[in-house]
Amino acid sequence: MEISPRWEKLGDEFAALGQQIAATLNVLDPGERGSWTHRREDNAYGSVTLAHPAGWQLYIWREKAHHKGAAGRRLTIQGIVPSEYRGRTEHRITVAGDRPPGDIARHIVRRLLPGYRETAAEAFAHRDQEQAATRARVAAFARLREALPALTTGAGSIESGYGLFYQGKTRINDHRAHASGRVRLNHDGATGSLKADGVPLELLVEFLARLNADPPALAGTVMPRELESAPLELEQGPRVVPGEVVTDGPAGDGEQWLPVPAAGAAEGPATLAIME
């Protein structure tokens, strides 16, 4: 596209401004944070982008260039975050357009960068999560299409996790399906939903059987078997009755049983059994 002389002039002015601001940022914020560069932009109102290897980007432009006077020359500087970010994205300041580049850089360091860098760290983490989820959906759809080649997707549908299939042969592709329906994957690509119409009964039975999570019933034939011999019972022990004193003689040979006085009763002389 051919650029008009006016755009070319504005592009030169903002490129020079961005180069000087980036150089000052690298002095004010040295070390790992001091690697800012500028990228030329060409548009009707003038703009420039500052970029850092860490992924930080600052966009500088005249947001109200249609205004007259100082308002039209005022610069807006905004921190750019990935589109996948789900939190706050408005990190911006405005400065007078007639300020020297060094002053503009100082405003950026003091008013914009601290909050923007914190947001950018969260934004990059969200971006990585979203990209991982997208890759998971793409891989999941590859498996689904292996199982059902008739499954078709539109532009961006694989990334979004959405696909269709149709019964019989269609003009969309040369593959066929036993039913018509749609598949939608959840965000992480690990689960999804399926809707199908005109499914033959046997396929319905097979599908529902695969969904059955009940433990399988025991199966087999009852076979009798011989058990090991039971252990012999223990011999019966002597009879013991609380409250009785027994002599050592065998029963029937003058054995006598003497009661033991109850607790608290007056004690008297005990008479032992005498064998005759």
Q: Residue 202: is its pLDDT beyond 90? A: yes
Residue bearing tokens 């006085």: 261
pLDDT digits (tens, 9 = 90+) for 70-122: 888 999 999 999 887 877 767 999 999 999 999 999 999 999 999 999 999 99
Greater confidence (261 vs 225) lies with 225
pLDDT tens profile 5-18: 888 888 999 999 99
For the segment 15-44, the average pLDDT, to the nearest whole number, is 90
Min mean pLDDT across 101-110, 222-231, 234-243, 254-263 is at: 254-263
Q: How confident is the model at residue 160 (pLDDT cuts 50, 70, 90)?
A: confident
Is 175:154 a contact under the CB 8 Å cutoff? no
In this prediction, residue 274 carries a pLDDT of: 40
State percent of the chain over pLDDT 70: 79
The dihedral built from the CA positions of residue 79, 83, 86 and 90, taken in this order, carries a sign that is positive
> Who has greater pLDDT, 223 or 191?
191
Angle at 137 between CA 187 and CA 162, to 5 degrees: 80
Predicted confidence at residue 273, as pLDDT, reads 43
pTM above 0.75, yes or no: no
pLDDT value at position 86? 76
Residue 132 has pLDDT above 80, yes or no: yes
